[in-house]
Amino acid sequence: MSDSTFSRTLHDLGLATWFGGSLMGAIGVNGAAAAIGGRDGARVAERGWSRWAPLQFAAVGAYAVGSLGLTWSNRGRLGAQHGVASVATAKAVVTVAAIGATAYASWLGQQTADDAVPPVPPEDAAEALDGTDVGRGPDDAVRERLAILQWVVPALTGTLVVLNARMGEQQRPQNVARGVLERLPDLPSLPDLPSLPSRSSLPSLPSLPSLDR
C-alpha cells in the first residue's frame, strides 16, 4: 500500500470542514436569523451562507479528490478483503447524496437574496413603521425546504464520518487478515477413504492340533 498522507489530509480536512460548517450553519447562522425574524433575519442568513459557500465547496472538492486518492491506493483491498467493497459503495452513495443536498440547499438559498424580496408597497408603509413585517419574503415552500435541508446535509456528512471510521477499523492488521481469509474459497473436501473391514468380518483361521507330550 503506497503512502497516502496527502490524499488522507485532503479527505479528512475537507470532510471536517463540510460537516462542521453545515452543522454550525444550521444551529448558528439559521438560528440567529430565526431569532431576528422577518426580512432582516432572511438577509442575515443569506449573507452568512453566501460568505461561507466558497469555502464549503472548496472543502467538498478537497474531500472528493482525497476520496479518489484513497480509493486508488486501497484498490487492492476492495476485492481481496471481505467487507471493504460494501462499505466503499455505501460511502460513495452517501457522498453523492450529500453533494446533491448541499448544492440544492445553496441554490434554494439564492432565492432568499435581497433582490428576491419584493419591496414594501407604499400603501403598507405605515404598517411597516409599526414594526410589522409586511413584505412577502421568500416563498413558504423555499423556507420549508431549507428548514429540512439544513439538517439533511449535516446528517449525511455525519454519516460519512461514521463510514470513514469504519473503513479505518478495516485497515487494522487483524481485520485485514480476517477479511482476506473470509475471501478465500473453501478448500475442497478430501474423498472419503474406504473403511477397513471390522475384525469380526475377517475369516477365522483353522485351529492347530494340540501336541501331547
Note whether residue 23 is domain-resident.
yes
Residue 194 maps to a domain: no
**Structural domain contains residue 96:** yes
Average the pLDDT over each of 86-90, 104-108, 206-210 and give the range with the smallest value: 206-210
Q: Domain for residue 164, yes or no? A: yes
Q: Which band of pLDDT confidence, cut at 50, 70 and 90, is reported for residue 208? A: low
Q: What is the pLDDT of residues 116-156, one digit of tens each?
A: 444 444 444 344 334 444 444 446 788 888 889 999 999 99
Residue 77, domain extent:
5-120+136-183
pLDDT in tens, 150-177: 999 999 999 999 999 998 888 887 776 7
Looking at per-residue confidence, does 93 or 147 come out higher? 93
202 domain-assigned: no
Q: Is residue 64 a part of any domain in this protein?
A: yes
Any domain includes 127: no
Span 73-89, pLDDT tens digits: 888 888 788 888 899 99
pTM, full prediction: 0.71
Compute φ and ψ for 174, nearest 5 degrees: -70, -35
Q: Is 31 contained in some domain?
A: yes
**Total domains in the fold of the chain:** 1
